Amino acid sequence: MNKLYIGNVSAEASEEDLESIFKQWKIPHSGPFLVKTGYAFVDCPDEKAAMRAIDVLSGKVELHGKVLEVEHSVPKRQRSCKLQIRNIPPHMQWEVSANRRLTPSRVAMEKLNGSMMENYALKVSYIPDETAAPEGPPSGGRRGFNGRGPPRAGSPGLGARPKVQSDIPLRVLVPTQFVGAIIGKEGATIRNITKQTHSKIDIHRKENAGAAEKPITIHSTPDGCSNACRTIMDIMQKEAVDTKFTEEIPLKILAHNNFVGRLIGKEGRNLKKIEQDTGTKITISPLQDLTLYNPERTITIKGSIEACSRAEEEVMKKIRESYESDMAAMNGQPESETVHLFIPALAVGAIIGKQGQHIKQLSHFAGASIKIAPAEGMDAKQRMVIIVGPPEAQFKAQCRIFGKLKEENFFGPKEEVKLEAHIKVPSFAAGRVIGKGGKTVNELQNLTCAEVVVPRDQTPDENDQVIVKISGHFFACQLAQRKIQEILAQVRRQQHQQQQPKTPSGSQPLTPRRK
């Protein structure tokens, strides 16, 4: 059997309620529900049914106002007094052992699971005792547990999934005299940073012998990279005080030249905004410093450690966005899009549903992030729905929203549902959407039967983007959106080709010296 533990169960819930949910989602179970105070157990006929229950229900389905948590049940004989606590703030340790005499593990489990810590909802589960004999015959290697230890890291029953490591590492330059302090005695300091921030850190000590600065490469999630960078800045500051080093120690980030133009933005708008938001001064090394051996620019950030840390997060966010955009364009993968869809203000309740149930199900079905923006005023007649996802997800989400408005009679029986959608395009690409003398936009309207407008005299936003307005029925809006995205993809490909570094005829591009 594959026994499941169902947590966060409301006191009002009954066996019939749980049975109804399993029936609704077509999940088979091979026995009755054993309902206790705050939790329940049920057996599934096979591993496939158990994993489907975890994937479909855990953290996604509500019962009497509480979101159910579903995971594989750990038999009592296999429980130790060690608990695994997930989804904790990044700077804290990942596991704690509960002392039976001070805080029994069962009590800790009940009190901690679901409680909030610095805006993180803790997920607590037992770690199976490796020395305990399993109950009953071996199950033949279930997907959630094996005979020797805890669930695999990616199991849906472990609460929040681990964050994905960024493909773009954080590379910084540090003064050579501080490298020893960063490494520490016998590497103790760098090992501690690596452990605390869950990162891999390479200090390139042997590069550029005699140079005043050494590069450091940090591989981790974006948060992990930022935390490691902040710790390194703290160590350098302390070492400067101890050695009476009086010069300012700026943060220096290395970034490939292909990404720097988009970081700066048109007329430097992006960079100015980061400076204003973080209270820092940012300069970038000139193009003349680039060589075939070194295609990286040095981004120098001056300010307090706290301000530099915030600026690093914003700078690397822009660089990662540029990288992901380039990879999507090169690989032909669908890139995530953002669409603002405007619906009648009175329809917001129907889209959200009771206790947010409908919008959650819609988001899950479409594979998109769907949020309702706050009303712009007390008398606002429209509300903005923010949909973020690739083209297929956009199609599914918008189709369901159009359909829901029709079902709920926000439009007459013979009236076609027509909504307005806004998409943002780079200001330099707006002319391509309009075309010479409005030729392209007129062709768009004739082809799609949607009204397409690029308002004149727009002021680009902080990302140097302007709005394109699309109005019409569902298929008209979708076709217009796709055509405009095709234009933007063509612009991005041309921009990418122009940014490729040119090499002398007959020679091969050389690998950068820094790693």
Alpha helices in 114-268 (DSSP H): 179-183, 188-197, 222-242, 257-264
Distance CA 196, CA 230 (A): 12
Instruction: Copy the structure tokens of residue 185.
Output: 């005695």
Residue carrying the six token digits 């890139």: 335
The confidence score (pLDDT) of residue 105 equals 53
Distance CA 123, CA 118 (A): 14
Q: Decide if 176 contacts 214 (C-beta within 8 A).
A: yes
Task: Supply φ then ψ for residue 85, to 5 degrees.
Answer: -115, 120
Give ranges for CATH 3.30.310.210 in the chain.
170-330, 337-496
Distance CA 444, CA 441 (A): 5
Pairing of strands 123-128, 79-86: antiparallel
Q: Decide if 158 contacts 70 (C-beta within 8 A).
A: no
What is the 3-class SS of 82-138, one letter each residue?
EEEEECCCCCCCCEEECCCCCCCHHHHHHHHCCCEECCEECEEEEEECCCCCCCCCC
Strand arrangement, sheet containing 79-86:
95-97, 79-86, 123-128
Residue 131 identity (one-letter amino acid)? T
The confidence score (pLDDT) of residue 153 equals 37
On the CB side of 48, CA atoms within 13 Å amount to 2
Task: Supply φ then ψ for residue 326, to 5 degrees.
Answer: -65, -40
Instruction: Please tell me the pTM assigned to this model.
Output: 0.44
Kind and range of the H or E run holding 362: helix 357-366
CATH class of 2-72: alpha beta
- How many beta carbons lie within 10 A of that of residue 468, not counting itself? 26
Distance CA 410, CA 268 (A): 45
Distance CA 323, CA 327 (A): 6
Q: Decide if 328 contacts 334 (C-beta within 8 A).
A: yes
Task: Supply φ then ψ for residue 244, to 5 degrees.
Answer: 60, 40
Q: Decide if 266 contacts 427 (C-beta within 8 A).
A: yes
Q: Decide if 209 contacts 219 (C-beta within 8 A).
A: no
Distance CA 44, CA 28 (A): 7
Residue 205: which of 235, 183, 229 has the closest Cα? 183
The confidence score (pLDDT) of residue 233 equals 96
**Full pLDDT tens readout for the chain, 515 residues:** 478 889 888 888 889 999 999 999 889 988 888 888 888 889 888 878 888 888 788 878 888 888 888 887 766 554 445 566 666 655 554 333 333 333 455 556 556 666 666 556 666 665 544 444 444 444 444 333 344 344 433 333 333 334 445 568 899 999 999 999 999 988 899 999 999 998 889 888 776 677 889 999 999 899 999 999 999 999 999 999 999 998 999 999 999 888 888 899 888 899 999 999 999 999 999 988 877 567 889 999 999 999 999 999 999 999 998 888 777 766 666 678 999 999 999 999 999 998 888 999 999 988 899 999 998 888 889 999 999 998 889 999 999 999 899 888 888 877 888 999 999 998 888 888 988 888 988 988 988 889 999 988 888 888 889 999 999 998 889 989 988 988 988 888 887 776 655 544 444 444 444 44
**pLDDT tens digits, 249-287:** 999 999 988 888 889 988 889 999 999 999 999 999 998
Strand arrangement, sheet containing 2-7:
34-35, 39-44, 2-7, 69-72
Distance CA 154, CA 163 (A): 11
What are the Cα distances from residue 439, in Å, to 433, 444, 454, 480?
A: 9, 9, 13, 15
Coarse DSSP helix, strand, coil percentages of the chain, rounded to the nearest 5 percent:
40, 25, 35
Distance CA 351, CA 353 (A): 6
Dihedral sign from CA coordinates of 320, 326, 330, 333: positive
Quick one: CATH architecture of 337-496? 2-Layer Sandwich (3.30)
String of b and e for 277-314 (b: at least 16 CB within 10 Å)?
ebebebebbeeeeeeeeebbbbbebbbeeebbbbbbbb
The confidence score (pLDDT) of residue 93 equals 42
Fold adopted by 170-330? TATA-Binding Protein (3.30.310)
Distance CA 7, CA 74 (A): 13
**pLDDT tens digits, 155-206:** 333 333 344 455 688 999 999 999 999 999 888 999 999 999 988 898 887 7
